[in-house]
Amino acid sequence: MKKNQVKKLAVAALLCAVAVAGSTLSFPVFGSKCAPVQHMVNILFAVFLGPWYGLAGAFTSSLLRNLMSLGSLMAFPGSMFGALLCGLAYRRTGNLLLTLAAEVFGTAILGGLSAYPVAIFLMGQEAGSVAFYAYIVPFLISTAAGSILSGILVFSLQKAKALKPMQETLA
């Protein structure tokens, strides 16, 4: 394994740990457990490691959160769509504002809509009847909060001229 791959895996593991630990800072909104730190981490994955590490990190964090009873099954669609979309947006454009918007859209709209079949098949019909209406808004609140947090962090790193060197060490 190359030295650079080890660095990327170490950073990915650290970001997953932050997401799992940060899920203790969650709050309920309309039957959903909102964890904004997960969405902050999704954007950090996008900026530092790219879309595929972001997707794998979102899956890993969601799995660990569920195994530790810190999240619900909605953590999977609620994080994975946003992680992939914001990673692709950042890779394609390098525009941080577009990346933040892609995280919000991917999580709130795509993740919220995909929560419907997940709720039906994995949680039962009753949950499915609620999922279509009740997950888009909570996902939007959670991802907006996480996007604001990561926006502040990444823009601060950019202003301090620390973002590029950090990205270059992982390139």
**What is the spatial distance between Cα 63 and Cα 157, in angstroms, rounded to a whole number?**
30
Q: What is the pTM of this model?
A: 0.89
**What is the spatial distance between Cα 84 and Cα 150, in angstroms, rounded to a whole number?**
16
Q: What fold does the segment set 3-23+33-170 form as a domain?
A: Arp2/3 complex 21 kDa subunit ARPC3 (1.10.1760)
Would you call 124 helix, strand, or coil by DSSP? coil
pLDDT (0 to 100) of residue 127? 60
Are 42 and 83 in contact, with CB atoms under 8 Å apart?
yes
Residues forming a β-bridge with 29:
32
Q: Which residues of the chain are modeled with pLDDT < 50?
A: none
pLDDT (0 to 100) of residue 131? 56
Q: Where are the domains of the chain?
A: 3-23+33-170
